[in-house]
Amino acid sequence: MNQLRLMAALALVGTTMVIIGCVGPWSTIEETSYAGINSVGTVPLALAVLVALAGVLGFGPPHVAAAVRWVVLPLAYLALLFTALAAFSIVTSTAADVAQYEVGGTRTREAAWGLWMTLAGTVVATAAGALALLVPSPRASASRPTS
């Protein structure tokens, strides 16, 4: 059961990083910053809130924690996928891509700290979900006969 609580704690750390990262800037175009919650960052944010809820439930009774562990990995993986796609889009955008949305001359777009914090948080939450699946089920360990 201690491993499930460790998973829950890691999931909460990862989702805290995601929430802070989504509120922070994901990209900057010259002096203007764009937060993750203004664009595709709302999807990882919503998924992170669900993972955080699962993490809180992981501190509950053993049968609830054992059931919740199957939810953490898929949700965290989806958040990781959306964040990685957004990071790829921001990092590979060209001046021409940025110019079509902005009035004026050619501008550059750079990834900001919020994007990287969100990406790191989704990696931590996904690792927590993967570790949770390695933990033996409480029912299986309780059904073993003792000699």
Domain span holding position 114: 2-136
Q: What is the CATH number of the domain that holds 12?
A: 1.20.140
The reply to whether 64 falls in a domain is yes
Q: What is residue 17's predicted lDDT score, i.e. its pLDDT?
A: 92
The reply to whether 144 falls in a domain is no
**pLDDT by residue (tens digit) across 31-66?**
777 777 777 777 888 888 888 888 888 887 877 877
The reply to whether 87 falls in a domain is yes
The reply to whether 143 falls in a domain is no
* Count: domains in the chain: 1
- Please state whether the predicted TM-score (pTM) of the whole model is above 0.95: no
The reply to whether 141 falls in a domain is no
Specify whether the CB–CB gap between 43 and 97 falls below 8 A: no
The reply to whether 147 falls in a domain is no
The reply to whether 145 falls in a domain is no
